[in-house]
């Protein structure tokens, strides 16, 4: 075993990159880079019934999008390949043969119906179901008979009796299991494909993986993997099991949870920034020293301390993610903000794909109004609604503003002043708001709120003179006229 830190992320190509899997990859990446080690991608693709077309490519695409790079993998090679399990079957068979020869494993010919009947009987007796070892010592004659019947055997590991398995977890300190808790478990299925716990132990040893960081749902897998290490006299890696990710209702994050988007692809499509998502996910189960929460990737690599992995569940706070993404957007160059938001307006049908220069400049100016408040790219569609709707819908707060007694006077004077404007830009508009103030004597909210509500339909929003300029003189005068008629002015 090398002294170099070697960590891995080993996805199955069964779907797109999920938040929980992304965190596993990210923590391994940060751990490896912090200790000047290697980060490896291994594809666990032996469950062909669950594999989906394009699953591997999708996983790798969104890892790269997040900013995670790897040193070895199926796509770039390395000295410890192959990096897909389906290309390693000959390796597994070699070790299966060795276990059978040492009588540390054996062939089991029980059918699924027989196994289920055994489990049912155990449940009826108040026992925890586990394989009872009925085929653990078959005679050559019994094996021959089963073979004649056409039965296909699985291969089971002999679980040692009376053995205690203890490992020091990076997150939870010492964890102990007793061998009596396990029946002899399958290491090779009837179709000849190795099971997860067997293949992963072989792979981690041969790839010289030094540390395995993964979700706490894998804790119960660890003793089985330790059995494999023991059987071959190998040293196991150091394990660290990260706590669950919970939603805001303190329930386990589930792919069926409709309140929280589950896949990295969804966040990209909505216009979240990879840097923000990288930062946010890092804080799901790990905390830095101090109160600061915004970090770039290189800083996170430098400060990542496994001692600060949390022992309590992480809460996925949607509002915090939006806040964090907004912080990154505010720090971006305006051109990049426009590149983030413009496709969302086109996708929503608010803008044509082929715009002339004048229309594009107008759209860019509209987007720039919302740079400070934009939390993710797709939010621009809702924020800019007032620029694309022919008619305005006034909510209760807006109607309350329009009912104030000074409103007809303010709006009539303002409209009269706009009509005579030769140029319609924000500076001239701002001057006419001041002129309206001087003529009517109304100032502050009594002045600005009626103008904002009548022209934009909102009680708060972007810089008012610029918004009025971008809406255009004709639209503004139509909206003012409509409100004045509704007020009977």
What ranges in 331-425 are assigned the alpha helix state H? 334-347, 357-368, 379-383, 396-402, 407-419
**For residues 38-63, average pLDDT:** 91
pLDDT band, very low/low/confident/very high, at 458 (cuts 50, 70, 90) = very high
What's the pLDDT at 260?
A: 78
* Catalytic residue chosen out of the listed positions 64, 97, 251, 255: 255
Residue 243: both structure tokens together: 């706590």
pLDDT at 325: 98
Question: pTM here?
Answer: 0.91
pLDDT tens, position by position, 310-359: 999 999 999 999 999 999 999 999 999 999 999 999 999 999 999 999 99
Q: Examine the residue annotation and report whether 359 is marked as an active-site residue of this protein.
A: no
pLDDT above 90 for 230: yes
User: Nearest Cα to 276, choosing from 264, 262, 287?
Assistant: 264
Answer positive or negative: Cα dihedral of 386, 391, 392, 393.
Answer: negative
DSSP string, 171-221: TTEEEEEEGGG----EEE-TTSPBPHHHHHHHHHHHTT--EEEEEGGGGGG
């Amino acid at each position: 075993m090398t002294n170099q830190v070697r960590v891995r992320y080993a996805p199955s190509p069964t779907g797109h990159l999920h938040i929980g899997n992304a965190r596993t990859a990210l923590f391994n990446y940060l751990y490896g880079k912090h200790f000047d080690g290697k980060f490896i991608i291994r594809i666990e693709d032996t469950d062909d019934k669950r594999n989906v077309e394009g699953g591997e490519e999708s996983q790798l695409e969104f890892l790269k999008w997040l900013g995670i790079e790897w040193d070895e993998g199926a796509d770039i090679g390395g000295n410890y390949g192959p990096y897909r399990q389906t290309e390693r079957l000959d390796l597994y068979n070699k070790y299966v043969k060795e276990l059978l020869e040492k009588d540390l494993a054996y062939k089991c010919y029980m059918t699924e119906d027989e196994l289920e009947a055994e489990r049912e009987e155990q449940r009826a007796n108040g026992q925890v179901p586990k394989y009872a070892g009925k085929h653990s010592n078959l005679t050559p004659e019994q094996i021959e008979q089963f073979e004649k019947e056409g039965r296909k055997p699985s291969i089971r590991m002999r679980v040692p009796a009376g053995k205690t398995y203890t490992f020091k977890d990076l997150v939870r300190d010492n964890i102990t299991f007793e061998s009596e808790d396990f029946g002899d478990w399958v290491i090779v299925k009837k179709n000849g494909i190795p099971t997860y716990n067997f293949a992963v132990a072989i792979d981690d040893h041969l790839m010289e993986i030094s540390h395995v960081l993964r979700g706490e749902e894998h804790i119960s897998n660890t003793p089985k993997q330790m059995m494999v290490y023991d059987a071959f006299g190998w040293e196991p890696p150091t394990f660290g099991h990260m706590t669950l990710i919970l939603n805001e209702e303190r329930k386990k994050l589930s792919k069926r949870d409709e309140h929280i988007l589950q896949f990295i692809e969804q966040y990209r499509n909505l216009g979240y920034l990879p840097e923000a998502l990288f930062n946010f996910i890092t804080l799901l189960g790990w905390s830095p020293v101090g109160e600061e929460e915004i970090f770039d990737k290189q800083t996170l690599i430098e400060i990542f301390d496994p001692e600060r992995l949390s022992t309590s569940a992480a809460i996925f706070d949607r509002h915090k993610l939006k806040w964090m993404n907004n912080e990154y957007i505010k720090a971006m160059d305006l051109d990049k903000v426009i590149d983030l938001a413009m496709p969302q307006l086109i996708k929503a049908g608010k803008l044509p794909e082929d715009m002339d220069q004048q229309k594009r400049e107008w759209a860019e100016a509209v987007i720039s109004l919302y740079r400070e408040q934009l939390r993710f790219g797709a939010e621009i569609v809702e924020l800019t609604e007032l620029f694309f709707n022919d008619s305005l819908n006034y909510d209760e707060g807006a109607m309350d503003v329009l009912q104030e007694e000074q409103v007809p006077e303010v709006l009539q004077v303002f409209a009269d002043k706009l009509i005579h404007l030769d140029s319609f830009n924000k500076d001239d508009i701002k001057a006419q708001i001041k002129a309206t103030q001087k003529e009517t004597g109304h100032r502050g909210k009594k002045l600005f709120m009626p103008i904002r509500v009548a022209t934009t339909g909102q009680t708060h929003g972007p810089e008012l003179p610029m918004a009025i300029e971008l809406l255009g003189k004709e639209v503004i005068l139509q909206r003012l006229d409509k409100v004045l008629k509704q007020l009977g002015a």
